[in-house]
């Protein structure tokens, strides 16, 4: 399917750039939002800081009155400054989704990039939904500041947990409007954020990649995003789709032995020292 009008945030590099290019090459009209210039073959560029609601509003005012899909990719890795991670990864994502929701044509979609880091959001649902249920960017920011002790230790993971929960919760409103809302949760992907993730995760980062043989390429994630955003998959709504080459599946079923992983060894050491 081609000829769609699609907005992609975070389109200057990595997964966002790969997605925008793929859509443009398929004949779609792509509108790219990013603070940095986007590739000329990825579509029209609109300067936009997803961490700033005023910048989002200015960009939204320049976008078409009707779009077929919104794809939220923009993100920062953290770990600091913690507030910036939340502003970009969740609060800004929610703000632009709300701003464009009424412009998405029936049969259209909202697809947001979360992370396998966010898949266990239910374990802290009270905290995650506490933020997800706030009304608007400023209220959400106030909540983050008031509750920093509950999330700021690992802002990236918390931000992606919020994205996942938000997409699942939004699926009802999307369905009622004739739309679809889904999350895509990549594992490790070879992008400019990789060094930051390696710094945060330490040896576990390389251990995870060793199980798969390599990191994913941005284009491999973009393939899934493009399919979910455009279809044909009209009954796919309210889903969190893991795209990690099989790491999570292998770990959950025991096909991948984690007993010697850095995380497991560290956990065992902590238990022994109690």
Active-site residue among 46, 121, 137, 156? 156
Helices (H), the chain: 14-25, 53-60, 82-86, 93-101, 125-132, 137-146, 155-176, 194-201, 203-212, 218-230, 247-253, 262-272
Q: Any catalytic annotation for residue 166?
A: no
Alpha carbon 185 to chain centroid distance?
Answer: 7
- Contact between residue 163 and residue 114 where contact means Cβ atoms under 8 Å apart: yes
Give CA angle at 164 (232, 215), nearest 5°: 80
Cα 151 to Cα 32: distance, rounded to the nearest angstrom: 30
Is-contact 152 207, C-beta < 8 A? no
Q: Exposed/middle/buried for 229, CB within 10 Å: 0-12, 13-18, 19+?
A: buried
Annotate 23-89 with three-state secondary structure. HHHCCCEEEEEECCCCCHHHCEEEECCCCCHHHHHHHHCCCCCCEEEEEECCCCCCCCCHHHHHHHH
Q: In which residue are the tokens 């004949």 written?
A: 27
Instruction: Name the residues annotated as catalytic.
Output: 156
């Amino acid at each position: 399917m081609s000829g769609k009008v699609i907005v992609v945030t975070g389109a200057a590099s990595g997964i966002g750039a790969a997605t925008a290019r793929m859509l443009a090459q398929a004949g779609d009209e792509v509108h790219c939002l990013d603070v940095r210039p986007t590739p000329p073959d990825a579509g029209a560029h609109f300067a936009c800081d997803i961490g700033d609601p005023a910048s989002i509003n200015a960009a939204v005012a320049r976008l078409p009155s009707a779009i077929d899909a919104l794809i939220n990719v923009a993100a920062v890795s953290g770990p600091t400054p913690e507030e910036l991670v939340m502003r970009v990864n969740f609060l800004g994502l929610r703000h632009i989704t709300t701003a464009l929701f009424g412009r998405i044509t029936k049969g259209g979609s909202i697809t947001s990039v979360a992370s396998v880091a966010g898949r266990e959001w239910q374990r802290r649902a009270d905290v995650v939904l506490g933020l997800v249920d706030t009304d608007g960017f400023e209220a959400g920011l106030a909540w983050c500041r008031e509750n920093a002790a509950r999330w700021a230790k690992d802002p990236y993971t918390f931000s992606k947990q919020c994205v996942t929960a938000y997409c699942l919760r939004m699926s009802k409103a999307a369905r009622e409007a004739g739309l679809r809302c889904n999350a895509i949760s990549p594992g490790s992907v070879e992008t400019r954020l990789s060094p930051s993730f390696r710094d945060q995760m330490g040896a576990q980062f390389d251990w995870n990649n060793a199980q798969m043989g390599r990191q994913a390429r941005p284009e491999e994630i973009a393939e899934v995003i493009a399919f979910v955003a455009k279809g044909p998959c009209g009954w796919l709504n309210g889903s969190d789709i893991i795209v990690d080459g099989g790491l999570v599946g292998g770990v959950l079923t025991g096909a991948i032995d984690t007993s010697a992983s850095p995380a497991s060894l560290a956990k065992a050491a902590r238990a022994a020292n109690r």
